[in-house]
Amino acid sequence: MAVKLSWVESANDPQTDFPLGNLPFGVFRRSDGLARLGVAIGDQILDLQATVASGLLAQTDVEISRCCETDSLNALMALGREAVSKLRTHLMDLLSDRGARARVEPALAPQAGAEMLLPAQIGDYTDFYASVYHATNVGRLFRPDNPLLPNYKHVPIGYHGRASSIVVSGADIRRPCGQTKPADAEVPSFGPTRSLDYELEVGFFVGKGNARGEAIPIAEAESHIFGLCLLNDWSARDIQAWEYQPLGPFLAKNFATTISPWVVTMDALEPFRVPAFARAEGDPEPLPYLTATEDRARGGIDLKVEAWLRTARMRAENAPPVKLSQGNLRDLYWTLAQMLTHHASNGCNLQSGDLLASGTVSGATRDSLGCLLEITRRGAEPLQLANGETRKFLEDGDEVILRGYCQREGHPRIGFGECRGIVLPAHPC
């Protein structure tokens, strides 16, 4: 199968995250200080505001062009998947037609000099718990005799996170303070977390929303998903262990969540769709509102996600980061469509730009575990790094880097860029 190429030469590199077949959307700031929409192509960004100003989107709807002149993706998300597909197809034509190069090239800006911003105004954020491997591993650490609670295989479990503390890749992460109570202590104490962790996740943005009081049928769920990004749900495990009963995560998770700046559309991921996770024999079938033939046949996405660590010592020695694990989104017990449908099933009104997350993506093997809580068995088996350092949990100066990509013969590699954050010491508590 011939792969369509771009006149932007860097987009034709087999190792680029952003070939012509990707074209993820984001928000960036140019030297004039103004935020604007952009599309990643190779090592460049196509400035959509400049593209509109040059008359290059005249063949698209007026409403699409107007949305491209805004400073967040919310308006474009609200138009729905069909409109975004139309825009993306037109951009592919512009970036592959060498006859259009002279007109389009002035709208390009190097990624290297751009400041990336949050891609949308995120009104609400919900984090799910969709990996049965992660849920079982964590449950086994805290409840050895009853690792998986009985509701897990019947209902997608999630909690409402904090939208205001979502930051874009590159933002520093301040070690949080909180209340903890070690098992051997009589009373709790307050201070910096000693068990700071990352969680390797994938986020997905709501495109077109639903009215309050109305549900979203599972057969229509994916038409309400704009695209995916990488997500690190930073977690203070000692704070979490003390506070999570009876109502679940709170201060242990709401201090920071990092996302990658580029949002990869569902259209770009189409070649990498796979069947939904195969449930074990004897597992309950999802209830009818969470069941659809199409979702069962291709509700999964063959998306590899990786977690990398670069300590302060590694940076000082100019050493590269080390890979901690690699998981795959296809291993989620619940599909994206099931999560979104369940979220809206009680009439909850999802809005354009709302962010939903998968929960930690872990697999069945030791090298596919998506957080240090699992990798180090709650700190009981410290991680041995090649340079002699060890880690039970994250230390000040550690940088966590998440990466993700889809790859299949006959199709260009579709990447997500990076999701980075460096841990800073806590403020005086």
Nearest CA to 240 out of 170, 165, 159 is that of: 159
Are 333 and 128 in contact by the 8 Å Cβ rule? The answer is no
Q: Note if 134 is an active site residue.
A: yes
Place of tokens 């904090």: 162
Copy the structure tokens of residue 231. Answer: 């997500």
Q: Sign of the C-alpha dihedral, residues 338, 339, 342, 343?
A: negative
Query: What are the tokens at 256?
Result: 């920071």
Euclidean distance between CA atoms 318 and 310, whole angstroms: 10
Report the alpha-carbon distance of residue 416 to residue 380 in Å, rounded: 33
Task: Write out the H or E segment, with its range, that includes residue 37.
Answer: strand 35-41
Q: Which of 90, 134, 224, 411 is catalytic?
A: 134
CA–CA distance from 293 to each of 12, 272, 276, 289, 332 (Å)? Answer: 36, 18, 10, 12, 17
CA 94 from chain centre, in angstroms, equals 28
Distance from C-alpha of 319 to C-alpha of 233, rounded to nearest angstrom:
26
Strand partners, 401: 308, 420
Helix-, strand-, coil-residue percentages of the chain, each rounded to 5:
30, 25, 45
Residues labelled catalytic:
134
